[in-house]
Amino acid sequence: MQVPHNAFVVVADGRKMLFLRNEGDAVHPNLQVERKREQDNPPDREQGTDTPGRSFSSVGPGRSAYEETDFHQLEEDRFAAETADLLKKRAFDNDFEKLIVVAPPRTLGELRKHYHKEVSDRLIGEIDKTLTGHPIVDIEKVLIDAE
């Protein structure tokens, strides 16, 4: 994938986001970190307080358990929505013309739900990979190798 000079690259998952800018050219990217944010999101077992509720079924015998809320996943989805909101603000400020987003499939799907038209219009590529824990040089290589 060609990464134009001055393109904005967002590498995110449900707990960490990196805002990068390509200071290199389209063939030889040189990504520089503009912003980094991480949130503390403990596992669901540490966030939930009770076991799932139960109800009596009026149709048929027995009880039925309600599905337990996954607080960890809810927080990751909220973080993705917050990332999309930051992208919208930067798009309105004309902070970038070209955008590439790298995120795991679930986070990418959540981001897409919240993209504003201004963000979507500037989006030139998406890569569904988890790269938030990788060094910048690895992120550059994945971008170059992507089609």
- Render pLDDT for 16-68 as a digit per residue (tens, 0 to 9): 999 999 999 998 999 999 999 887 655 545 555 555 555 555 555 555 555 66
pLDDT of res. 76 = 85
Helix H or strand E encompassing 78: helix 71-92
pLDDT of res. 55 = 53
pTM: predicted TM-score of the whole model, two decimal places: 0.79
